[in-house]
Amino acid sequence: MWKHTSGFMLIDLLFTLSAMLLIATLFIPVMIHLYTYAHIEDLRYEATQILYEEMMDNDRVLPRMVRKDEMSFHLFNSEANNICISYLYQREVMICEKY
As averages over each run of 10 residues, the pLDDT of the chain (99 residues) reads 72 93 94 96 94 83 88 89 90 90
Instruction: Return the pLDDT at 62.
Output: 83
If residue 32 lies in a helix (H) or strand (E), which one and from where to where? helix 10-56
pLDDT tens string 67-91: 988 899 999 988 878 899 999 998 9
What is the dihedral sign for C-alpha 39, 45, 51, 56?
A: negative
- Specify the pLDDT at position 7: 72
Full-model pTM: 0.72
92 neighbors 86 (Cβ within 8 angstroms): yes
